[in-house]
Amino acid sequence: MKLDILERLNAARQKRQAAILVTDLASGHLRLVVEHEGYDGDPLADELRRRFASGASGTVGEANTFLTVHLPPPRLIVIGAVHISQALAPMAKLAGFDMTIVDPRTAFATPDRFPDVTLIAEWPQDALPKLGLDPFTAIAALTHDPKIDDGALEAALRAECFYVGALGSRKTQAKRLDRLRALGLDERAVARVRGPIGLAIGAQSPAEIAVSILAEVIATLRSRGAVAKEAAA
């Protein structure tokens, strides 16, 4: 592999752009296809389109060409610099998620409480457009405060984030969904809000709740079909 191709690939990954490395296994020759740069004229266009959708790497043709598919890494944006977020931050990092915390309450969002996480002390309505939500992003709303959570949930649903979850009881969830409907979101969209958030593992402590949230995020990521099919291997 030539260093300049690796540089371009890493630059695309850095910018959260999907890219496919096409390797001729016989000659060792390889080229890079970056999704947003277009590939309509490519002899492998149909195959490339399919691979961008599935995220699955693999060989094509007589197994002489190998496609390494690189989709953007999953991100987790947590609304609320709360106790659960403190436990979730190191776990999410270990699991390979790029985690960001958004909370406009500067008393909560202090670097002291979150030493190794990207922390944005702004309202979600201001912070999220700058972060650029996409289908490779998960949002967990943990403030318990509709003023802060609702705007983030609305933005996440409209951006087709792969996971949208919110902390709160079933009653809280029902009221929340009514408010989201009032914002003009349809039934398919509001049905995507996971609440009460997290897998039902009987979690009690903030750390246990963080485990249940992370497990649910991973389960959703691995079942959406548009990411590398690791489980299928």
Partner 1 sequence: MPTPDLDVLAAAEAWRKAGRDVAIATVVETWGSAPRPVGSHLIVDGEGNFEGSVSGGCVEGAVVGEALDVIAAGKPKMLEFGVADETAWRVGLSCGGRIKVYVEKLD
- Site residues, partner 1 (CB under 8 A): 1-3, 6-7, 9-10, 13, 23, 25, 28, 56-59, 63, 66, 68-69, 72-74, 93-94, 96-98, 227-230, 232-233
Question: Whole-number minimum distance, CB 2 to partner 1, in Å?
Answer: 5
Q: In 162-190, which positions are buried (b, 16+ CB within 10 angstroms) versus exposed (e)?
A: bbbbbbbeeebbeebbeebeeeebeeebb
Report the nearest approach of partner 1 to the CB of residue 25 (Å): 6
Q: How far is the CB of 114 from partner 1 (least distance, A)?
A: 17
**Minimum Å distance from CB 123 to partner 1?**
26
Pick the closer one to partner 1 by CB: 8 or 49.
8
The residue ranges of DSSP E strands in the chain, in sequence order, are 19-24, 30-34, 58-60, 65-70, 75-79, 98-102, 118-120, 137-141, 163-166, 193-194
Preceding omega of 72 cis (within 30 degrees of 0): no
Considering the complex, state which of residue 2 and residue 147 has its C-beta at the smaller distance from partner 1: 2
DSSP, res 80: -
Rounded CA Rg of the chain? 20
Q: Which is nearer to partner 1, 17 or 68 (CB)?
A: 68
Nearer to partner 1 (CB atom), residue 72 or residue 198: 72
